[in-house]
Amino acid sequence: PGRKRDFSPVLWSQYFESMEDVVVENDTGKDISFLFPVEFGPVLLLLHGGGHSALSWAVFTSAIISRIQCRIVALDLRGHGETKVRNPEDLSAETMSKDVGSVVEALYGDLPPPIMLIGHSMGGAIAVHTAVANLVPSLLGLCMIDVVEGTAMDALNSMQNFLRSRPKTFKSLENAIEWSVKSGQIRNLESARVSMVGQVKQCEGAASPECPKAIVEGIIEEEEEEEEEDEEGGGSVNKRKKEDDTETKKEHLYTWRIELAKTEKYWDGWFRGLSNLFLSCPTPKLLLLAGVDRLDKDLTIGQMQGKFQMQVLPQCGHAVHEDAPDKVAEAVATFLIRHRFTEPIGGFQ
């Protein structure tokens, strides 16, 4: 009491070594950005939930690389974060899982390192669809965070009400960060300060408080730098070791980067049949939940049969990896060491 909490935004560069654009060309054409510190060991490919961005993994990244040898690639999925794609509206499970496979191919060519897919919520569903379609040939393991088919399908009915209850605009980034913490969307102030930056964008020249349609496509401008040919992946990698310009222009409002309400037609496709798809993946599997009440029938049976490892992390909201990054890092690290996929570091037990 009495001490003012700091809601100022924190730069991505405090957590990640670089932010790069991976340019992937195919029928739809796309350009997907991601952030990663380069270490050794298997690659943990992190897929965020709906409305979030790669930045939601920032604090988890610090926690995991201090425990085990691993490399991190956190992706912005299409329509989210810094991505620029020809068709940002197509958020089908099939398209997004193909995006993940295309990025792995662009990054590593024909010889990808061992990769573990870790996804939260929508990203967990996309991780499973990616694994089932065998789009990551070097897949080591699979981790879903707080996404279960039964619960997700039940929650879809109330989803629009939840989205309508959120503020449409924020006066500043500080204001957005403060709302995310006080509303309980993100219960960890450190994580909110870095990750909310990826959830909102400035309303360019907004006259009305509700950001006119014309600027919904606008993304905070950044300097385009020379594209360098990436010899191995064949794709061009546009390096942007750029300084974040997070000094906010006070007079500009902020709004959500993606209108989640408009993605409703894809929700069913993300989650329907997810439990059985997850159980059918032949790789070692981990399920991290915010509460045991989230288990559905298929997963309960699968868990009894020992088909996957499960851990419940109480006192967390839905954004488990943001609310309790150390506990999630501990669970993932223990899982990888148990399966002899990596080595502990820094005396991690």
C-alpha 238 chain-centroid distance: 21
The secondary structure of 16-38 as a DSSP string is: -SEEEEEEE-SSS-EEEEEEE--
In contact, 16 and 53? CB cutoff 8 Å: no
> What one-letter code names the amino acid at 128?
V
Report the alpha-carbon distance of residue 268 to residue 158 in Å, rounded.
14
HSE of 342, CA atoms in CB hemisphere, 13 A: 28
- The one-character DSSP state at 110 is T
Collapsing DSSP to helix, strand or coil, 62 comes out as helix
Catalytic residues: 121, 146, 318
Residue 137 CB contacts under 8 Å (≥ 6 apart), including other chains: 112
State how far Cα 39 lies from the chain centre: 20
